[in-house]
Amino acid sequence: MLSQNLISEATRLTLTGQLVEATALLQRMLRGESPEPSHARVSPARLEPPTIDVKASIVEEKESRRTTRVSPAPLQSFDRLKDFPGLNLRGPMTRAPPATTDIAPQGTRFIAGTFRSANGSRNYKLFVPSRSQEKPLPLVVMLHGCTQSPDEFAAGTRMNFLAEERNCFVVYPEQPSGANQAKCWNWFRTGDQHRDGGEPSLIAGITRQVMRDYPIDPKRVYVAGLSAGGALAAIMAATHADLYAAVGIHSGLACGAASDLPSAFVAMRQGGGSEIADGGPPVPTIVFHGDRDTTVHPNNGDRIVEQSIKAAGLKAKVSDGRVPHGHAYTRTNLTDPRGRAISEHWNVHGAGHAWSGGSPAGSYTDPRGPDATREMLRFFLEHSLPG
């Protein structure tokens, strides 16, 4: 547990630009170690300033030599820093771009666009299904994790392939390195947790731009994300319940889980709680989280579900299963008295910080888990906005 004095010291270091020292202090305290002497600290010259969130961990299971498929994290060459999630070390990532055939099926389009507003601009990639002119169609907004690109996220989740089957548009906003060195969405900053400002306004702007330019059903618009993207998806659901009919959060954190660097590390390591004002009916929420996630604590999945439940009289149904030759899982469904699904929580046993059931063509995926993409899209299409 972090003491208030340590949090104050970490905050002071952050405000004075000593981000590496602040990160080192917080991580040592979270591990229960005493503060490191100043002469033994990591040299800032070797590190980029830390950004909160993902460097996926490779998880081995005793019964199998197969591992979660992730791209080599830059941290692996610095053993003493292996517990520092989100530190962005210098040097290029070694991942090769995914092949075009792994991103979208033939006969469809995957096109680039840009949204601009007074709050800034963001590029995005848009998947257009082959039957896009039949009638107003659903739209899924997909928010990538740290260090990822829209192409990588599309290849890893295979959302475009499922969207072609179900006839949906999919848009992938892109976080540039200029906004965050590791291309993480800034979920932990209070300025990026409100409806009319920061990154939420940009994501909503992209969503509305696509809705304006293409035949989108305004009652069937959804948002999902991985890790930092999952945390931002939770924020979008909390701030734009009138825009999104359902939300999917994979290995993410609840809205309001953190408000600065120290609280972000606490939330990631221990689970972050928040007080959210009652703003009306909850946004239906589906959560995936690995119970061996060492980057974002599995408790955060529970916090997300708790935050999405605002009604009494919910009925819970718990079921267990296993992917053939893969991970076991526990699925908890909560429904209201009318039988309407309010939330689903998939606790994937033995899985780490990676997209469950994803493709090795992308990054931060675990092919041995239940298919999060298929289950999220199924859950989404069961819901629509009223009216």
Residue type, 265: F
Q: Which is it for the CA torsion 186, 190, 195, 201, positive or negative?
A: negative
CB-CB contact of 224 with 247 (8 Å): yes
Q: How would you label 340-353 residue by residue, b for 16+ Cβ within 10 Å and e otherwise?
A: ebbbbbbbbebbbb
Q: Are strands 285-290 and 109-117 parallel, antiparallel or unpaired?
A: unpaired
Give the CA distances from residue 33 to residues 2, 26, 36, in Å, rounded to whole numbers and listed in that order.
11, 10, 8
Query: How far apart, in whole angstroms, are the C-alpha atoms of residue 52 and residue 147?
Result: 11
Active site (annotated) includes residue 274: no
Tell me the two tokens of residue 252. 């993410």
Tell me the two tokens of residue 255. 């809205």
Between helices 228-239 and 299-308, what is the axis angle to 10°?
Answer: 10
Query: Residue 362 gets which letter from DSSP?
Result: S
Catalytic residue among 57, 201, 227, 359: 227
SS3 sequence, 54-110? Answer: CCCCCCECCCCCCECECCCCHHHHCHHHCCCCCCCECCCCCCCCCCHHHHCCCCCEE
Between helices 150-157 and 159-166, what is the axis angle to 10°?
Answer: 70
The residues, any chain, with a CB within 8 Å of residue 11's CB and separated by 6 or more, are 22, 260, 261, 262
Q: What is the secondary structure of 118-174 as a DSSP string? A: TTEEEEEEEEE-TTTTSS-EEEEEEE--TT--HHHHHHHH-HHHHHHHHT-EEEEE-
Catalytic residues: 227
